[in-house]
Amino acid sequence: MSASGADRGLRGRTAVAGVGETTYYKRGQSTDPEFVLVVKAILAACEDAGINPREIDGFCSYSNDRNAPARLANALGLEELRYSNMQWGGGGGGAAAVVQNAASAVHAGSANVVVAYRGLAQGQFGRFGQGGRRPAVRGEFAYTLPYGVMSPAQMYAMRTTRLMWEHGIDRSTMRAVALAAYHHAQNNPRAVMYGRPLDAETYDSSRWITEPFRLYDCCLENDGGAAMIVTSAERAADLSDTPVLVLAAQQSGGHRSGAWVHNPTDYATSSFKLGAQHLYEQAGVTPDDVDVVQSYENFTGAVVMSLIEHGLCTYENANEVLTFENLRADGGSIPLNTSGGNLAECYMHGLGMQIEAVRQVRGDSTNQVPNVNVSLSNAGPMVEIASTAIYGTAEVLG
């Protein structure tokens, strides 16, 4: 038995049989309530999979999603609810973990058809990043809010500054991440930034949010719903000739990653240094095998950290390797964020980027990379528990 437990792992045991998304709206512009967005996404995923929604017997979500499994089960007419799960942690750190949790439940026999989902309607429930409005705060935030550190950008800017200082990461490398996302969004009609291209000059002259982040270094805020149907590899093979297997899915947090007031032992990290090793071991692949990458952009600097920590480039060559040309789906060596990602498609807390990774394996992305067998998608870099997953074809199993 391996030390990591990879030989007991998920490799090829489960599959994503279907994916569903609502229209993606600008923040606050959904005409549907959040619950309806989630129901619509789940129904779309069931239709995509070719299954009856009443076959669902489990639900997994994250980031304190407000749409509870029991209410969804009522709405969908489920005869039996066998499994429900909420991934700990805020932000989008759970967007790949939710697939891990669903796949684990299926692999363990706890349920047969588990839906991983996320819904967001900020017009209904308020915006991210608006800071504390309470008169007084206790605990960790007592050490940050009174100093004007309250939005996600403010909470994570200093990690990026430290990365740039320790490793000489250039602003142009962060810019390449933004340009690639917007480039891909121009081919993706779902994308909120479809028809709104970004060039280097516009990026360079955009306003500071907080140094080192300019406007285009920061993710969008959106309304919408997204869902993925996870079932056994055997069932998925009955539903499709080319099932999309979950090759690996892993949560990742390093030593004291949740230490208060910016005190994780390792600071300038995406939190993937350990989890990425387990990910590749579980999947039985190496970074060289990865054909296409969805790397969660809360902020561009975090993507640079994530790609390095997933072994797709190094601290030393990141500035040379992570260029706009190399990150493009059309001919790049590391096709990145091919839907437009959180910067330009939609900020569905990263679940849209898991869905895009599945699409790349199926071959139906709007920015399709040729011959994809291994498709990586990570989530929530820099948060205390991040997560990462690899999807692939049966060919990878050999």
Partner 1 sequence: MSSLAEGTYLPEGLTQPAPMRDGMDAPYWEGTHEHELRVQRCADCGTHQWGPDWVCHACQSLNVEWVTVEPTARIYSWQRVHHPVHPALADHGPYIVVLVELPHADNLRMLGNLLGDLMADIVIGSDVEAVFEDHDNGNPPYTLVHWQATRS
Identified binder of partner 1 from the candidate list 148, 168, 197, 331, rule CB under 8 A: 148
Mask of contacts with partner 1, 262-301, x by CB under 8 A? xx---x----------------------------------
Q: Does residue 190 bind partner 1 (CB under 8 A)?
A: no
Q: Does residue 209 bind partner 1 (CB under 8 A)?
A: yes
Identified binder of partner 1 from the candidate list 130, 242, 286, 333, rule CB under 8 A: 130
Q: How far apart are CA 353 and CA 391, in angstroms?
A: 12
Q: How far is CA 52 from the centre of its chain?
A: 27
Q: How far apart are CA 370 and CA 377, in angstroms?
A: 17
Identified binder of partner 1 from the candidate list 88, 141, 315, 324, rule CB under 8 A: 141
* DSSP secondary structure letter of residue 323: -
Per-residue CA distances from 280 to 351, 372, 379 (Å): 21, 17, 16
Identified binder of partner 1 from the candidate list 112, 124, 151, 202, rule CB under 8 A: 151
Stretch of 10-18, 84-92, 207-215, 233-241 lying at the interface with partner 1 (CB under 8 A): 207-215
In the chain, the largest separation of any two C-alpha atoms, in whole Å, equals 60
Of 113, 105, 102, the residue nearest 73 (C-alpha): 113
Q: How far apart are CA 306 and CA 272, in angstroms?
A: 7
The two tokens of residue 34 are 């959040």
Query: CB of residue 204 vs partner 1: minimum separation in angstroms?
Result: 15
Burial of 80 (0-12, 13-18, 19+ CB in 10 A): exposed
Q: How far is CA 212 from the centre of its chain?
A: 23
Annotation marks residue 296 as catalytic: yes
Q: How far apart are CA 195 and CA 189, in angstroms?
A: 8
Q: Does residue 165 bind partner 1 (CB under 8 A)?
A: yes
Nearer to partner 1, 53 or 212 (CB): 212
Stretch of 21-29, 126-134, 298-306, 350-358 lying at the interface with partner 1 (CB under 8 A): 126-134
Identified binder of partner 1 from the candidate list 260, 320, 363, 395, rule CB under 8 A: 260
Query: CB of residue 214 vs partner 1: minimum separation in angstroms?
Result: 9
Q: Does residue 200 bind partner 1 (CB under 8 A)?
A: no
Residues 6+ apart with CB under 8 A from 317: none
Q: How far apart are CA 34 and CA 212, in angstroms?
A: 33
Q: Which of residues 55-84 bind partner 1 (CB under 8 A)?
A: none
Residues marked as catalytic: 296, 347
Contacts with partner 1 by CB under 8 A lie at 129-151, 153-154, 157-159, 161-162, 165, 207-212, 256, 259-263, 267
